[in-house]
Structure 1
Amino acid sequence: MDVDRLTAIDMHVHAEISDEGHTSLPDHLLAASGAHFSARDRSPTVDETAAYYRERDMAAVVFTVDAEHATGRAPIANEAVAESCARNADVLIPFGSVDPWRGAAAVAAIRRLAADHGVRGFKFHPSLQAFDPSDRMAYPLYEALEELRLPVVFHTGQTGIGAGVPGGGGIRLKHSNPMLLDDLAADFPGLTIVMAHPSFPWQEEALAVAVHKPSVYIDLSGWSPKYFPPLLVKYAGSLLKHKVLFGSDYPLITPDRWLADFADLDLKPEVRPLILKENAARLLGLLRSEGG
C-alpha cells in the first residue's frame, strides 16, 4: 500500500454482504439501521467497496461483526472478507470479528486469522454481541490480541442497529459505555483500543479515557461531523490531535458526505492531515521506517 499516495485512511468500513448474498444482520435489523441512517445502498460487496475507495485515493479498514450468539445470524466469514481485502491490498486493510461468547474457539480463531489470513486487527460491538467488554470472560481474547499486537475497535455509544425496533431489538446500550473500556486499557496496557464513534451519551467519558490511557484512540465514524459535540471537536484539535481518527461507517455514511462536513469544522490546518491519515497510518504500522 502506497501510503504517500493516499488522501485519507477510513478506519471504519463494514462488510455487510458476502459475495454469495449473505447479510451480516437479520433482515429486520438491517432494514431498521438503513432507515435510521437514511442509507441508500446497504449492500456493496468488498470488491465494490475497494473500487469506491480506489476512485478516491483512500484506504479503508474493513470488517464484519460476528454476533451469532446474540442474534442467531450466521456471520459473514472472516476468511472471505480477508481474501477480498487481499485482492485489493492497495486500498483495503482486513480486520476480523469473533463472537466473544465462543470462548476458547474465539481465541483460536483470532490466532488463525492473524497467522493464516493476514487480519490486521479486530472489531467488537458489545451492544450487538450482548456482552460487557470488561467481563473477565472476554479477557483471554484480549490477552491474545495484546500478545499479537493487533489493534481492536470497539463500538461505543448509542447504536443505529435496533433503533426504532420494538425493545430496540433486545439490544442493550449499556454495554457500549466507553468507561467499560477503561478497565481493559488498565489491565492490558499493550493493547491498542479504538473507541468507535462520538460516544453519545457518554462523550465526556470517552474523552477522559482517551486522555488518560496512552493506548486508547477515538474514531469519528457513524456521525456527520456537523453533529459532533463541540467538546469533541475541541479535544480533537488539541489534547487528542494525535489520537483521533477518520472513520465514516460506510456504507451507512459515505466518506464523501463525511469529508464535506469535516471541511467546515473549526480545526487548525495542521490537525486535519493527522486525523485524516497520519494517525491511522501510525496506528496500523503503515509508515515507512526511517532510512527505508
Structure 2
Amino acid sequence: MDVSRLTAIDVHTHVLASVTEHQRSDSGTDALAGTFGTIREFTVPELAQYYRERSMAAIVFTVDSASRTGHDPRVSNEEIAEQAAEYPDTLIPFASVDPAHGAAAVRAARRLIDEHLVRGFKFHPSDQGFFPNDPMAYPLYEVISEAGLPALFHSGQTGVGAGQRGGGGIRLKYSNPMYLDDVAVDFPDMPIIIAHPSVPWQDEALAIAGHKPQVYIDLSGWSPKYFPPQLVAQTNSLLKRKMLFGSDFPALSPDRWLSDFAKLEIKDEVRPLVLKDNAVRLFGLDNPEKP
C-alpha cells in the first residue's frame, strides 16, 4: 500500500453484501434502520472502487454475532479477506469471531490469521452479548495478541436495534468502554481501538486512551458536529496521536464525516494525524516488511 497517495484511512467500514448474492434490495438493514434509515449494502469490490475514487484506504469487516442472533454473518470472514487481497492498495481486511464459540473461535482466529492474513479483529460487545473483560474471551485475545494484531471494539450506544421493540434484544451495558481497561491491563501488547464516540461514556474512553499506551479511539459512527467538547479538546491535545478517522460506512459516509470534520475546530497540525498518520503508524503501513 502506497500511503503517500492516500488522503485518509477509514478504519471502520462494514461489508454488508456478498459477491455470491444474486439479488440485493439496497433498502437498508432492519437492525440499523431506526437510526440511519436506508443503507446501501456494498460488496468488497464495490467498497474498493468507492474508496479508490476518493484516494482513501479502508479497513473492512463483518460482525459475527451468531450466538445471539442464531445465524451467521451474511458475508464470511474468508470472503472478505480473499476479496480484499485483490485490492491491497486500498483495503485492509479485519475478521470478526464470536467469543461465545469458545475453542472453535480460537481455532477460527488462528486460521484466519495464518491462512487468510487478516490484519485485525472486530468485536461488538452489545451485538455479541458479552463483557469484553469476560475470561471467556481471553483465549481469543491471546491469539490476537501473539500475532501482534489490533482488536477493535464497538463502544457506547449503537444503531443496531434502535427503535425496535426491546431494542432488538441489544443490551448497551456490554459496550461501556471501561471494561476494556481490564483487557488493556491483561493484554498490554495487543493494540486496542475503542470504536466511536462512546456515548454516554465518553470520559471513560478518554481516560483509558490517555492511561494505556496501546489504546486508541476511532471517531466513527457520529458526525463530528455532534462530538462532545471534551473529545474535541483531547483530540487537539493529549490524545492527538491516539485518534483515528473512521466513518462507519455505509451507515455514515466518509464524505459526510469529512465535510463536518472540516468545520470542527481542530488544529492544522492535528488533522493529518487523525485522518491518516496515526493509522499508518498503528497498522505498520510505513513498514515495507510488514505484509
TM-score by length of 1: 0.95
CA contact (8 A) 1:32 1:164 kept: no
CA contact (8 A) 1:127 1:174 kept: yes
Report what 1:123 is aligned to: 122
Is 1:10 the counterpart of 2:22? The answer is no
Instruction: Describe the superposition over 1:219-268 as per-residue Cα deviations: whole angstroms up to 9, x where unpaired.
Output: 00000000000110100110000000000000000000000000011111
Shift in Å at residue 105 of structure 1?
1.0
Instruction: Describe the superposition over 1:189-220 as per-residue Cα deviations: whole angstroms up to 9, x where unpaired.
Output: 01100000000000000000000111100000
1:165-244 to structure 2, matched below 5 A, reads 165-244=164-243
CA contact (8 A) 2:28 2:40 kept: no
Is 1:63 the counterpart of 2:50? The answer is no
Letter in 1 for 2:90: V
CA contact (8 A) 1:195 1:216 kept: yes
CA contact (8 A) 1:34 1:42 kept: no
% identical equivalent positions: 63
Partner Cα separation in structure 2 for residue 251 and residue 34 of structure 1: 12
Letter in 1 for 2:182: D
Letter in 2 for 1:18: S
Output the aligned Cα RMSD.
1.8
Q: Secondary structure at the match of 1:30?
A: coil
Report what 1:135 is aligned to: 134
Partner Cα separation in structure 2 for residue 48 and residue 114 of structure 1: 24
Cα gap change, 1:20/1:252 in structure 2, threshold over 3 Å: closer, same or farther?
same
Q: Secondary structure at the match of 2:115?
A: helix
Cα gap change, 1:78/1:129 in structure 2, threshold over 3 Å: closer, same or farther?
same
Shift in Å at residue 108 of structure 1?
1.1
Structure 2 unaligned blocks of 5 or more: none
Partner Cα separation in structure 2 for residue 31 and residue 148 of structure 1: 35
Count of residues in Structure 1 that have an aligned counterpart in Structure 2: 286
Runs of 4+ in 1 over 6 A off after TM superposition: none
Partner Cα separation in structure 2 for residue 152 and residue 22 of structure 1: 32
Report what 1:73 is aligned to: 71
Cα gap change, 1:189/1:22 in structure 2, threshold over 3 Å: closer, same or farther?
farther
Report what 1:249 is aligned to: 248
Shift in Å at residue 34 of structure 1?
2.9
Structure 1 unaligned blocks of 5 or more: none
Partner Cα separation in structure 1 for residue 180 and residue 260 of structure 2: 29
Cα gap change, 1:119/1:262 in structure 2, threshold over 3 Å: closer, same or farther?
same
Shift in Å at residue 288 of structure 1?
3.6
Identify the range of structure 1 (196-205 vs 103-112) with the bigger mean alpha-carbon deviation: 103-112
Letter in 2 for 1:17: A
Q: Secondary structure at the match of 1:90?
A: coil
Report what 1:279 is aligned to: 278
Q: Secondary structure at the match of 1:31?
A: coil
CA contact (8 A) 1:122 1:152 kept: yes
Cα gap change, 1:115/1:170 in structure 2, threshold over 3 Å: closer, same or farther?
same
Partner Cα separation in structure 2 for residue 47 and residue 244 of structure 1: 28
Report what 1:83 is aligned to: 82
TM-score by length of 2: 0.95
For residue 45 of structure 1, the aligned residue among 43, 47, 51 is 43
Partner Cα separation in structure 1 for residue 132 and residue 174 of structure 2: 7
Letter in 2 for 1:44: F
Partner Cα separation in structure 2 for residue 183 and residue 234 of structure 1: 26
Report what 2:161 is aligned to: 162
CA contact (8 A) 2:191 2:214 kept: yes
CA contact (8 A) 1:30 1:161 kept: no
CA contact (8 A) 2:221 2:247 kept: yes
Partner Cα separation in structure 2 for residue 264 and residue 80 of structure 1: 38
Letter in 1 for 2:258: L
